[in-house]
Structure 1
Amino acid sequence: MDFRLKVFYTVALRLNFTKAASELYISQPAVSKHIQELEETYKTKLFERNGSKIALTPAGEILLRHTKSIFEIYREIDFEMSSFINERQGLLRLGSSTTISQYIISPVLARFHQKQQDIKVNLLNGNTEQIENALINKEIEIGIVEGQSKNQSIKYIPFLKDELVLVCRSGNPLVQESEIAVDDLKSMRFITRERGSGTLEVIEYALKQIGVKMTTDLQVEMQLGSTESIKSYLLNSDCFAFMSIHAVGNELKNNELVVLDVENLSIERYFYIITLVGKSDSLSELFIQNLSAYYNLKL
């Protein structure tokens, strides 16, 4: 029954029998057989099939909710029972927005693995909105994001301070300016992150405080889905972008990108650790302790 639920859970997340079969290392007919047996057990359909596409039925939605809870309990049992023999084992599912995944959390994960080699860590990447949704849907236990949407079901813990700075390539003609006036921003071409990005929300709010609306006042040449793609675009154009100081350290050191000061504008924020309100488990707490120890923080 447990394996059938695992098959169901994988299909329900992927909404694709072929992908589920590949992930579980079984054949597609075997996946179909397990789903059929579950439907026979509960005497109801779990998926609606429309050609090559599938979707959960109302009964499937209920079973998915309970299956998530069951696997969550199993995960906690595995970790807490293994601690009795000083061999901590288990699975920790993390979610992290793009900037944090690339520039902040990797050394922490390496250190955590050195200390806890029997704990498997899965890291989901996405923008802040996607990570929050994954947490709410119990696809991850902890998220680390670039902004907070103040969702009532999520607990936000300030983690690490960040500064967003205006950057361009070192050969840009405006590099000679000692300071960029607010009105000058309106004649410059910008590259930004996509909608749903926590970074974009913070930038929009800060600009609004100095009388600049991103959607109407700035010339946004392109929206790109990752920090690395924005940096690459900047290095090959005369565009500008507001980026995390953590993300451009190497480029600034190598004089490939340059920071420009903007009149009356300072954009600071915190990265946040997010968990579900009222939801805590030993493995998640262990990781948060390691995270705070690495950066010498008191969380």
Structure 2
Amino acid sequence: MDFRLKVFYTVAIRLNFTKAAAELYISQPAVSKHIQELEETYKTKLFERNGSKIALTAAGHLLLQHTKSIFDIYREIEFDMSSFVTKRQGLLRLGASTTLSQYVISPILAQFHKKEKGISIHLTNGNTEQIENALINKEIEVGVVEGQSKNQSIKYVPFLKDELVLVCRANHPLAQTNEIAIATLKTLRLVTRERGSGTLEVIEYALKQRNVKLSDLQIEMQLGSTESIKSYLLHSDCFAFISIHAVSKELKNKELTVFDVEDLIIERFFYSITLVGKSDTLSELFIRNISDYYNLSL
């Protein structure tokens, strides 16, 4: 039954029998057989089939929620029982928003793996909204995100302070300007992250305090990652607000330069996130390691 539930879970997440078979290293007929046996056991359909497409039925959605809970319990049992032996073991499903996964989380993961070699980490990347949704849907146990919005079902714990700075290419015609007025900001061509990005939410919130809306700005393009924004800046006359952690190399190499905006400081915290009321030993261990790494007093 446990393996049948694993097959069901994989199909339910992928909504594709072929992808589930490849992920589980079994044949597609075997996947179909396990699903059929589950449907016979519960005497109800778990999937609606429409040609090559499938979707969960109401019964399928209910079983998926129970299956997630069962696998969460198994994961906690494995880790908690391993604490009785020298080498702790377990699986942690971690989600990281784009900025953090590219510029912040890697040294934390390296240190954590060095201390806890028996713990495997599966990392999911996405923007802040996607990572929060993955946590709510129990696809991950812990997330690390940036952003101004707060979901009431999520516990946010700050671990690192960040600043978003206005940058452009170092040989830009305005590069010698030390500071610009907030009104001048409205005349610049800007590149931003996409909707759902925690970075964009923080920028929008900070500008709102200065009575500036995103619609007041000349946004030339929205791109899905900080790397793509930096590359765009190097080949255009555009500006962008980017995390200081993300541009340290370009500033050192004098490829990008920073502008001060009069009376505008955009600061934020990076947060670890877990579900409110949902705590397990492995997740707490990882969060402690994050705080210890950056020595932030909470």
TM-score range, shorter chain: over 0.9
Equivalent residues of 2:89, 2:118 under 8 A apart: yes
List per-residue Cα deviations over 1:86-141 (Å, max 9, x = no partner): 22111000111000011111011011111111111001101110011000011111
In the alignment, residue 295 of structure 1 is paired with which amino acid?
A: Y
Q: Report the CA distance between 1:297 and its aligned residue.
A: 2.3
Instruction: Please list every run of 5 or more consecutive structure 1 residues that lacks an aligned counterpart in the other structure.
Output: none
> After TM superposition, where is structure 1 displaced by more than 6 Å over at least 4 residues in a row?
none
Q: Report the CA distance between 1:51 and its aligned residue.
A: 1.5
Equivalent residues of 2:193, 2:223 under 8 A apart: yes
TM-score (norm 1): 0.98
List per-residue Cα deviations over 1:2-53 (Å, max 9, x = no partner): 0000010011111111111111111111111111111111010001111121
1:1-299 matches, cutoff 5 A: 1-214=1-214, 216-299=215-298
Equivalent residues of 1:169, 1:238 under 8 A apart: yes
List per-residue Cα deviations over 1:57-85 (Å, max 9, x = no partner): 00000000000000000000000111111
Secondary structure of 2:180's counterpart equals coil
Instruction: Please list every run of 5 or more consecutive structure 2 residues that lacks an aligned counterpart in the other structure.
Output: none
Percent identity between the two aligned chains:
79
Equivalent residues of 1:14, 1:20 under 8 A apart: yes
Taking the aligned partners of 1:180 and 1:21, their CA distance within structure 2 comes to 57
Equivalent residues of 2:194, 2:200 under 8 A apart: yes
List per-residue Cα deviations over 1:220-268 (Å, max 9, x = no partner): 1111001111011111111000000000000000000000011111000
Taking the aligned partners of 2:222 and 2:51, their CA distance within structure 1 comes to 34
List per-residue Cα deviations over 1:246-298 (Å, max 9, x = no partner): 00000000000000011111000111111100111111111111111111123
List per-residue Cα deviations over 1:160-202 (Å, max 9, x = no partner): 1000000000011111212111111122111100000011011
How many residues in Structure 1 have an aligned counterpart in Structure 2? 298
Query: What RMSD over aligned residues (CA atoms) do the two structures have, in Å?
Result: 0.9
In the alignment, residue 263 of structure 1 is paired with which amino acid?
A: E
Deviates more, 1:89-98 or 1:47-56: 47-56
Taking the aligned partners of 2:193 and 2:49, their CA distance within structure 1 comes to 36
Taking the aligned partners of 1:148 and 1:203, their CA distance within structure 2 comes to 9
Equivalent residues of 2:169, 2:234 under 8 A apart: yes
Taking the aligned partners of 1:298 and 1:52, their CA distance within structure 2 comes to 53
Q: Report the CA distance between 1:149 and its aligned residue.
A: 2.4
TM-score (norm 2): 0.98
Secondary structure of 1:191's counterpart equals strand
In the alignment, residue 147 of structure 1 is paired with which amino acid?
A: G
Taking the aligned partners of 1:81 and 1:250, their CA distance within structure 2 comes to 43
Taking the aligned partners of 2:296 and 2:50, their CA distance within structure 1 comes to 51
Equivalent residues of 1:182, 1:263 under 8 A apart: yes
